[in-house]
Amino acid sequence: MTIRELPYTAPADLADAVRSEGYALLRPLDVARLAGCTLIELQALVPSWDRLELDNYLKDGGRYRRRRHSCFIDNGETLAQTPHRAHWQPVEYNALHGGMHRLFEPIEPGTVALPSWERLLHALGEVCSNVAGRHTWHVEAHQFRIDTADGIGRPTPEGAHRDGVDFVAVILIGRTGIKGGETRVFEAEGSMGKRFTMEEPWTLLLLDDAAVIHESTPIQPLGEHGHRDTLVLTWRAGSFQGEGA
């Protein structure tokens, strides 16, 4: 698909689309409007992707993924960062890396302090509440850079998966010198699916994690090397995964 053919959702239909279809895809300008800021203000977050740390937990031995991770609690009024904690998923949701307490470097304080960060996360939390009812949301934020230094990079080495949360947002931050990275969304209990490639920075995919499974295909360099940057956000009511595990 070309950019014009992507299955975009009208902003007014966002909650209904997630509720009925299991996913919604927003144009960059609509993401900025939802967050109550400009694309320029969102772009102020981008330089921090050049300072991500190597992911040393990849079981395939790869060195193609850099990331940072931090956690927040959104009670509908305020977004509060928690003390730094490990990321954990059960093997039922991540057969490759599940069952491991993976402690990544936190997202830089200067990034979290930017007004556009809180506005974006809080606005998306409101959408989650519009879909599923008011909750105190336990939010995990993951900055990813997948590069092609070894010839190929795998955005989802675990394959098509669910995350074990209530909602997932995948936001494209940028693509540089690559091909591939197609997004695939399939019904968790059915055969219907969508395939498309997000190309414009700040395109956002919002998923009902119980309704769909998702993956992104590997990337390859167009020239000497390239990379794909994303921000992945998850919302879970009740607790973070792994609390008490």
Please, are residues 162 and 111 in contact by the beta-carbon 8 Å criterion? no
If you average pLDDT over residues 114-134, what whole number do you get? 97
What pLDDT sits at residue 114?
A: 98
Question: What tokens appear for 188 in the block?
Answer: 């968790």
118, 109 Cβ separation under 8 angstroms: no
Task: Note down the domain range covering 231.
Answer: 11-237
Furthest CA-CA distance within the chain? 48
The CATH number of whichever domain residue 49 belongs to comes to 2.60.120.620
Classify residue 25: in a domain, yes or no.
yes
Q: Is 5 inside any structural domain?
A: no
Q: Is 228 helix (H, G, I), strand (E, B) or coil?
A: strand
Q: Is the pLDDT of residue 75 over 60?
A: yes
End-to-end distance of the chain based on CA atoms, in angstroms? 42
Helix (H, G, I), strand (E, B) or coil at 128: helix
CB pairs under 8 A, 24+ apart, for 100-106? 100/57, 101/242, 102/57, 104/53, 104/55, 104/67, 104/68, 104/69, 105/52, 105/53, 105/68, 105/69, 106/68, 106/69, 106/70
pLDDT in tens, 129-186: 999 999 999 999 999 999 998 889 998 887 788 888 999 999 999 999 999 999 999 9
pLDDT above 90: percentage of residues in the chain: 74
Residue 142 domain-assigned? yes
Give domain status of residue 212, yes or no. Answer: yes
Calculate mean pLDDT across residues 47-74.
91
Report the pLDDT value the prediction gives residue 245, as an integer from 0 to 100: 43
**pLDDT tens digit sequence for 22-37:** 999 999 999 999 999 9
Residue 122 lies in a domain: yes
CA 48 to chain CA centroid, Å, is 16
- What is the total count of domains within the chain? 1
Number of Cα atoms under 13 Å in the Cβ half of residue 31: 27
- Report the pLDDT value the prediction gives residue 3, as an integer from 0 to 100: 44
Q: Would residue 71 count as lying in a domain? A: yes
Q: 2 in a domain, yes or no?
A: no
Spatial CA neighbour of 202 closest among 34, 12, 48: 34
User: What tokens were used for 212?
Assistant: 């769909």
Band of the pLDDT at 213, cuts 50, 70, 90? Answer: very high
Report pTM. Answer: 0.93
Average pLDDT estimate for 77-101: 74
Structural tokens at position 6 = 């992507």
- pLDDT-derived band at 241, boundaries 50, 70, 90: confident
Kindly report the average pLDDT of the chain as a whole number.
Answer: 91
Of the two residues 98 and 58, the one the predictor is more confident about is: 58
3-state percent helix, strand, coil for the chain, nearest multiple of 5: 20, 35, 45
Asked, for residue 172, whether it belongs to a domain, the answer is: yes
3-state secondary structure 7-73: CCCCHHHHHHHHHHHCEEEECHHHHHHHHCCCHHHHHCCHHHHHHCEECCCCCCCCCCEEEEEEEEE
